[in-house]
Structure formats: C-alpha cells, structure tokens
Amino acid sequence: MSKTNMEINPSGSLAMLKFLDKLVKCSIEGACMKGLSSRTSALNTASECLHILRFWSRDYGRGISLAESSHSLTVLVSIVSFLQAELNISDKPANATGISSRNSGSANSKNSNIWDMKISAFSMLEDILSKVASNMTENLWQSVIEVLRKVMDFVTARNLVIESSIMSRFYTSFLRCLHLVLVDPKGPLSGHVAGFVANLQIFFVYGLRSSSPPTLAPKETRTDSKPRASRGRYRPPHLRNKERRENDSLEGQNSDSEYSWYDMSSSDSDLSDSDGYAKSGDRFRSSKARLAAILCIQDICHADPKLLTSQWPVLLPENDVLQQRKYQATLMTCLLFDPITKVRVEAASTIATMLERQALVLTQVAEYKESSKRGSFTTLSSSLGQILMQLHTGALYLIQRETQATLLAALFRVLILLISATPYARMPKELLPTVIKVLCSRLLNKHSNKTEHYAVLVTVLSCLETAFSKVPPTLDVFAVLTEDCCAGPSHEQEESNVIAFLLHCIEEEMHYSVRHGAFQVLRSAVHNYPSCANMIWEKLRDNVLNLLQIQSFEDQKYDANFGPPGAKEESSIKGRCLVAGIKVMDECLRVSSGFTGADDIKECRLLDIQQISDCTINKTIKSAPHFEMEAAGSSQNCTLDITLGINRWIEVIETHLPQGLSHGSAMVRTASLTCFAGMTSDVFFSLPENKRDYVTSSSVHAALNDMVPSVRSAACRAIGIVACFPQILSSSSLPGKFIDAIEFNTHNSSTPVRVTAAWALANLCSCIRFRALEVHTDPYAGVGVLSKSSISLLVEVALRLAKDSEKKRILSSGGIALNGGSDR
C-alpha cells in the first residue's frame, strides 16, 4: 500500500470541520428519533469523526488557526454530549473499572467503547482548550461548561470515580478541561458553583482511599526499601512509567481498544524525579487529578468569590481539622495529609485565595461560638468563626513541624492572610497570643542553614508585623510581647522576650532583609502598644544613626540635584531598611510627644461640627498611637511626660534629621520629613527657637526646591501640621512663607502633591478662623499679622483648587468655608 501526503490549506480545514459538525449533529438527531441500530450507527459516525480529528490534529496541530480550533471544539462538544446521552440511557453504566474486559457482554462492550471514545475526546478537548479557552465566544463557552457539568454529575452520581491508571488519566484530562474553562469564564457561574464544588470535593482524596493512612503532616523522605545496588542503572522517569504500565493489569484489560493509548501517555514534563510520585506510591498518577480539582476551586474563587462564600463549610472544616477524612474531605485534608508536595502547596494557595478574596466578609461577619451555645441551627457567621478556628489550628500545627521550603512559604502566606482576615475581638481571647507564641518559637529555631534560617526569619517577621498590627490592641498580646515567652530550659539565646529578640534582629551583623522585617514589627508594636517605645528607644536611635551613615546605596543611583529616583533605588533593601528604621523612630516620637491626631485643634472642629449637626462624633486618627491601652491595664506604664518628648526631638533634630533631610535617597528624605507630621504644639513651642526654625525652614525648603513629588508631598504635610498651631500666626514671617510654599505646590503636576498642598491650605485657613473665634474679636484681629494681600492669596488659591479634581475640591472647599468664616 502506498501512502500519499496530502496538504490541507486553512480553507479546506474549515470546510472539513464544518462538514464534520453537520454530520455529527445529523447523526445525533437521527439516533434520537429511531431505535438501537440508529444509535449504533451514530456511535460509529462519532468514532470515525474522532479518528479524523485525531489524525488532523496530529498532522496539523501546530499550525491550526483560532477559527479551526473553535470549529473542532464545537465538533468535540457535540460528540461528548452525544456520548453522555448514550451512557445515560444505558442499562449498565460500566463495569467495575469503567473499562470492559474482553469477555464482557455486548452491553458492557458497547459502554466500554463509549468510555474509550470519551477518553479520547477529552484528551483532544484539553489540547484545544489550552489554545483557545481565552478567546471562546460566550455561546461556545456556555456549551462547553454545560457538557462538562453533565459529565461530572454523571460520574459522581453513578459512583464511577474509579481508581485505575486509565480512569485516573481520564479524570485528570477532564478536570484540566474544566480548569481551562473556569480560569477565564465568559458567562455567569451562579448556576454551576454548588454542583461543581460538591463534585470536585470527591476528588480531593482521589487515589488515597485504598492506600494506608499517612501519618499526620507527612514529610517526603529520600529513603527507599530497595538497596541501591539492586535498582539497576538509572532510567528516566518517562521510561520508568512505560515499564510500569506494562505490568498494569487494569490497563492491560483494555489493550484491544484503539482509544486506550491515544493521547493518554504522560509527557516527560509530567514525570519528574523531584515530584515524589514514585516515592509516595502514586501508582496511577492520581495526584494529578487531585491537583486539577483543587485548581478548579481556585478558579471559581478568582471568578466570583461571593458565590463561594456559602460553600466554605463544604471546602473547609468546622471541627477536627487534624483528623484525616477519607470521605467529605476538605482543602485542609489535602494540605495536612496529601503525600505529594505539589498538591499540598496548591491546597495552601487555594485557601490563601479564599481568605484574600473574602477578607472583608470574614472581618465583618465571622464570630466564634462554643458548640454548647450554637444551638441546632448554625448561622453562617458562626460557621465561618468555626472555620477560622480550625484553619488556625491546622496552619500552626504545620508551621511548627514542616521543613519543606516551598510548602513553608505557602503556609506562611496562608497564615498572614488568616491573621489579617480574622476578627480576633470575636474569637477566643487566647487565639492571637497563641499565634504569636508559635511564631516566636519558629524565630528561635536555628537548626537550618544560615540562608534558610534568614529566609524563614524574614517570613516569620512579616507574620508578626501583621499580628501586632491587629486592632483593637489587647493586654494579652502585650503580655506575650514583653514576657519571657520564648525562653525555655534549652534556650541559650540572650533574648528573653519578643522585644529583646527584635532589637537583636536590627543589629548591624544581621542581614538587611532581616533588619527591615524587624523594624516593621517594631513599628506595629509601638503603634498599638506605646509602652514599647521606651523599651526600644536607645537601641533604635543608635541603629538608625548607623544606617544614616550609608549615603550611597550600592544598587541605586541618584543625581546631585535630588532628581527623580530610579527603579533601582526603590528596590534597594538597604534603603528600605533605613526608611523602616526612620518610621519606627517617627512612631516613638509620636508616642513621647503625646500625638493624638492630625492636628491640635481637631476637638474644636468636632465641637463646631456637632453644634451644627446636633450629633456626637468620635474621630479616630489612624496615624496616632493607641494610647487607650495605657488606661486599660497597669501593666503598661508609658510616661507621656512632655519633657521626654522635647529631649528626644532635640536629639533627633541635632543628629538624625540633618543627615536624613540631606540624604541622596528620596525615600529617606520623605520619611525624615514625615517625622514632622507627628509634632504637637506643646512640644513644638517648648523647643528652643533655633530648633523650631529648623523644623519650619526645612519643610519650606523641601517644598520649594526638592524635585521629587513624594518629598514635596511630605513637606506640604509637615507644613499643614505646623500650620494648625494657633501661635504660628503670631510670627511675622512664618505664615507668609507657608502661604508661598502652599501656593507654589498647588501648581505641581503631581496629584498627590496638589492634594497635600490643598490639605495644608485648609489647615491654615482653619487655624485663622478658630484663632479669631478664640479671642472673640474682629476676625482681622484674630488673623494677627496676616495682611489683606495674604488673605486674598489664600482665597484665590482655594477658588482655583475648587476647579481641580473631586478630592482636592473637597479639601479646598473646606479651606474656602473656613477662610470665609474669618472674613466675615
């Protein structure tokens, strides 16, 4: 027999595919109207069409156009839909393996052939969807999702989730098709989510039910029961798989089927020595099906997280998280017990996605209740509270024991998002302190090499930052922060509590990434627990001063005129470390100064507003430390003596800020100027005159001369804070300098600069008005030395800003109103 090579051009391919589509549809319509013989004929037609598509895809697959792929997808969807209908009306769905043996009866042989055709069809579907899924039309996407739903419902309803090599590959191919359709949905999923979640849950432990239960939180070892000498020479993974398949009796049962081998062999990339498949006894590669099922859940969460909220009790445990579940498994079951690292990592990633997408709902709704208080009906809020509790238990258990780097990184991401989303005020009061204690124990674990230890240390510090920043602050957390919670019989380190260890982490010998993480934790701790400021001030002051000596970071460039920074500067770990240190120093200065709000006359403004609106307003300033903790218990004794604040400010103005404000890094200059935004009037006017002049002149100079927008914005904020102090109006020159700097920056091309300048303008006008109200005299007497030209300039700037964008219009409108009040 001679072979002829026939080339088919794109137009010919489209014509062929359209013909196959019509042929399949006509055969299906005829089979529906007639008897068994017509259905058999239709099956034969579908089989021949699959043959044609298989060979066409094999020979022309790389050059297939989008239109050709879409038409072939339409044909395959029609074929799969017909095959599913045939299985639905069959007396027997399939035999015990899903694939018939050679001696089976005619009915089972027919069903076996249908399964073989479905396996082949889904293999081709997966290949085509990987190319065109993102470009499908809504109608085509809808038809694909509907046929996938029908197949999945049939498989799970008939208990056809069979553990065998052939069926494992079928499920993997099918679930990958579902993943490709869900990852970029073209239509609503509301009608499918509940069904998909219930069915996908079945595959969480696929291939594991018949195996012996693994130990809790298993670790993949490198040992092998066979001696090395008896293993023979090295065989690549894909060849090992081929030899193993020859001994697979289940697959051998279907060796006479022409579809059983087609497109179902694993690629070399699917088989890796590092995956742990052979070591874990994953004979049928069932882990790939589990992985695909978890990916589908993640896709649904990305597509519409709200639809998944009601399914949380199905996907995540409400109790006994550390108990293995062979039935009704959850994502935590996969994370805790699956023997394959890839599956565990993907389960962690999916849980993290769910927490991230529903953080607001959890924060607002979740509430933990004891089982005795929940009653017979469990509300969604109570259910979510139980789930959060179990997630904490499982995550903390693994973090204490796991050593695999990739999985550890995924676990810490889950924990950070879990801490952020959990409303600890409505959870058991010991929960957050327990989290911090576990993280502390991990901080002191130095059994890994130096590089691994630093990597884990940075991640743990990030978790601690999130934990200490949770509000409202509690005395239980403060106790953990300062007590000897990390010390034990074998504890050899000098650090006896968290604060001491964090101070050790900012020392010069530590890596800059560790120092940066420790600074971040200290900032959160000082903000929520102001008593810590006195504990850390001396070491913090010295370390920040040492960092300020680095005027030129190795991996960044800047010009002598403070031009715009490049990308390298922003990514410099040394620069970020210094900025983080300055921000902690800023927080400590706010604590020692008694800073409670954005300005010292906010109470007057609130009283004025309450007189107008006849309601009580409580204003919370996020930038102010949580001083309410000082009155909550006697264990915190932070002395807010104004003398302490004055002395610290004088020290910083003399040693730190001159270097910070003249630093070559824009982000360092920005952080240094931001320190002035935490100044209070009592501290400011208690400073020596030369120090006050330094504060105001530095702010005005940066606002007028620095070329970097972020620095100018910080300078305008500093001006806006000082402009709130009524005594400023007694100065002969300062108000005019402020007005010039504000007016200059209202013309800046950067929106943040103009917004901050407008805010400073409103503060200055507010100060003028309330100064006039205080003295109960003519408004101009309250203004003091401000001339009519200065007042006119303020009005002119405010009116011009009113024509700017919405946010600045609000700020400038406040300035106009306040200015008008002083003009009356």
pLDDT in tens, 256-272: 334 433 344 444 444 45
Task: Please indicate whether residue 621 or residue 323 has the higher confidence score (pLDDT).
Answer: 323
pLDDT in tens, 783-824: 455 677 877 888 888 888 777 765 655 565 455 545 544 454
CA separation (Å) from 734 to 709, 790, 823? 23, 12, 20
pLDDT of residue 484: 65
Average pLDDT on 675-684 reads: 93
Q: Which helix (H) or strand (E) holds 524?
A: helix 512-528
**CB 298 within 8 Å of CB 353:** yes
Q: What is the pLDDT of residue 687?
A: 95
Count CB neighbours of 38 within 10 A. Answer: 16
Q: What burial class does residue 533 get, using C-beta atoms within 10 Å of its C-beta: 0-12 exposed, 13-18 middle, 19+ buried?
A: buried
- pLDDT attached to residue 438: 94
Residue 54: what pLDDT?
A: 85
Q: What is the pLDDT of residue 621?
A: 60
Whether the Cβ atoms of residue 532 and residue 522 lie closer than 8 Å to each other: yes
Confidence of residue 602 (pLDDT cuts 50, 70, 90): very low
Backbone phi, then psi, for 416, in 5-degree steps? -60, -45
DSSP single-letter state for residue 268: G
What are the tokens at 461? 């510090």
Q: pTM for the full model?
A: 0.82
Q: Does the pLDDT at position 644 exceed 60?
A: yes
From the number of C-beta atoms within 10 Å of its C-beta (0-12, 13-18, 19+), residue 643 rates as exposed
Closest by Cα among 665, 670, 678, 813 to 750:
670
Cis peptide before 472 (omega within 30 of 0): yes
Which secondary-structure segment (H or E) carries 200? helix 193-202
Query: With b meaning 16 or more CB within 10 Å and e meaning fewer, what string describes 385-412?
Result: bbbbbbbbbbbbbbbeeeeeeebbebbb
Q: How large is the average pLDDT for residues 57-69?
A: 73
Query: For the stretch 693-729, what's the b/e string if a residue is b when 16 or more beta carbons lie within 10 angstroms of its beta carbon?
Result: ebbbebbbebbeebebbbbbbbbbbbbbbbbbbbebb
CB atoms within 10 A of CB 460: 23
User: What's at 779, amino acid-wise?
Assistant: P
How far apart CA 472 and CA 475 sit, in angstroms, is 10
Rounded to 10 deg, the angle between the 193-202 and 286-303 helix axes is 160
Helix (H, G, I), strand (E, B) or coil at 207: coil
DSSP annotation of 430 reads T
pLDDT value for 722 = 93
DSSP 434: H
597 vs 601: CA distance, rounded Å: 9
Lowest mean pLDDT among 72-76, 159-163, 336-340, 563-567: 563-567
Most confident of 16-30, 418-432, 724-738: 418-432
Rounded to whole angstroms, how far apart are CA atoms 198 and 209? Answer: 18
pLDDT in tens, 695-718: 999 999 999 999 999 999 999 999
The residues, ordered by sequence, that sit 6+ positions from 608 with a Cβ below 8 Å of its Cβ are none
Q: Where are the domains of the chain?
A: 9-135, 139-217+258-265+278-364, 726-824
pLDDT of residue 703: 97
Burial level of 213, CB count in 10 A (0-12/13-18/19+)? exposed
Instruction: Quickly state the pLDDT bin for 572 (edges 50, 70, 90).
Output: confident
pLDDT, residue 669, reads 96
Position 612 confidence tier, pLDDT thresholds 50, 70, 90: very low
Least confident of 306-315, 448-457, 666-675: 448-457
Q: Region 393-400: what's the mean pLDDT?
A: 96
Task: State residue 66 phi and psi, 5-degree precision.
Answer: -65, -40
For 138, counting Cβ atoms within 10 Å of its Cβ (0-12 exposed, 13-18 middle, 19+ buried), the class is: exposed
Residue 374's pLDDT band, with cuts at 50, 70 and 90, is low
Structure tokens at 482: 């300062």
Instruction: Grade residue 562 by pLDDT with cuts at 50, 70 and 90.
Output: very low
In the predicted model, is pLDDT for residue 454 greater than 70? yes
Cα torsion angle, 208, 213, 215, 219, sign: negative
The pLDDT, as a whole number, for residue 777 is 52
Looking at per-residue pLDDT, the higher value among 40 and 719 belongs to: 719
Q: Which of these ranges, 53-67, 610-624, 652-666, 759-773, has the smallest mean pLDDT? A: 610-624
Nearest C-alpha neighbor of 464 from the set 518, 399, 407, 397: 518
Tracing tokens 């099922």 back to the chain, one arrives at 293
**Confidence (pLDDT) at 98:** 44
Contact 282, 333 (CB under 8 A): no
- The most distant pair of C-alpha atoms in the chain lies apart, rounded to whole Å, by 114
pLDDT for position 666: 93
Angle at 754 between CA 748 and CA 759, to 5 degrees: 150
- pLDDT given for residue 139 in this prediction: 92
Asked if 553 and 591 touch (Cβ cutoff 8 Å), the reply is no
Query: In angstroms, rounded to a whole number, what is the distance separating the alpha carbons of residues 770 and 495?
Result: 51
Alpha-carbon distances of 691 from 39, 559, 651, 684, 725, rounded to whole Å: 95, 29, 10, 9, 16
- Residue at 765: amino acid letter: C
What's the pLDDT at 425?
Answer: 95
3-state class of 566 per DSSP? Answer: coil
Predicted confidence band of residue 35 (pLDDT cuts 50, 70, 90) = low
Spatial neighbors of 434 by CB under 8 A, at least 6 apart, are: 392, 396
User: For residues 286 and 814, which has the higher predicted lDDT (pLDDT)?
Assistant: 286
Structure tokens at 289: 């099906």
Asked if residue 728 lies in contact with residue 735, where contact means CB atoms within 8 angstroms, the answer is yes
Name the token pair of 291.
């992985």
**Cα separation, 735 vs 731, whole angstroms:** 7
Residue with the bigger pLDDT between 587 and 10: it is: 587
CB 237 within 8 A of CB 271: yes
For residue 135, the model assigns a pLDDT of 87
Lowest mean pLDDT among 102-106, 328-332, 419-423: 102-106
Q: Tokens in use for 399?
A: 């973090």
Q: What percent of the chain has pLDDT over 90?
A: 44
- pLDDT-based confidence at 692, cuts 50/70/90? very high
pLDDT exceeds 80 at position 421: yes
| Amino acid 253: pLDDT | 40
Tokens of 236: 């690549």
Sign of CA dihedral 410, 411, 412, 417: positive
**Lowest-pLDDT choice from 39-48, 92-101, 501-510, 813-822:** 92-101
What average pLDDT does the structure give for the chain?
A: 79
CA dist., res. 585 & res. 47, Å (int) = 75
The DSSP 8-state label assigned to residue 9 in this structure reads: -
**Highest mean pLDDT (candidates 89-93, 96-100, 443-447, 742-746):** 742-746
42-46, 540-544, 773-777, 789-793, range with the lowest pLDDT: 773-777
SS3 776: coil
The Cα 158–Cα 94 span in angstroms is: 10
The top-scoring range by mean pLDDT among 364-373, 433-442, 554-563, 623-632 is 433-442
Q: Tokens 């007189």 — which residue?
A: 611
pLDDT of residue 557: 42
Task: Convert the pLDDT of each residue in 228-251 to its tens digit.
Answer: 444 455 555 555 555 544 444 334
Average pLDDT of the residues in 335-357: 96
Q: Taking 70 as the threshold, does the pLDDT of residue 611 lie above it?
A: no
Place of tokens 């470390």: 577
Give 594's pLDDT tier (boundaries 50, 70, 90). Answer: confident
- CA-nearest of 271, 273, 207 to 245 is 271
Indicate whether 108 pLDDT > 80.
Answer: no
**To 10 degrees, what angle do helices 286-303 and 341-357 make?**
10
DSSP symbols for 305-358: HHHHHTTHHHHS-SS-TTS--SSS--HHHHHHH-S-HHHHHHHHHHHHHHHHHT
pLDDT of the residue at 204: 94
233 exposure class (CB count in 10 Å sphere: 0-12, 13-18, 19+): exposed
Dist CA 167 CA 184 (whole Å)? 27
Distance CA 528, CA 590 (A): 12
**Considering just the CA atoms, what is the radius of gyration of the chain in Å?**
35
- Average pLDDT rounded to a whole number, residues 173-185: 95
pLDDT, residue 727, reads 85
pLDDT of residue 576: 93
Cβ neighbours for 576, distance < 8 A, ≥ 6 positions apart? 516, 667
User: Residues of the chain with pLDDT > 70: what percent?
Assistant: 70
Which is more confident, 193 or 627? 193
Query: Where residue 607 falls among pLDDT bands split at 50, 70, 90?
Result: very low
Going by C-beta distance under 8 Å and a sequence separation of 6 or more, which residues neighbour residue 194?
310, 311
What does the block give as tokens for 401? Answer: 């024991």
Q: What is the mean pLDDT of residues 428-435?
A: 96
Q: Which of 13-27, 87-101, 258-272, 486-500 has the lowest mean pLDDT?
A: 258-272
The secondary structure of residue 707, as a DSSP letter, is -
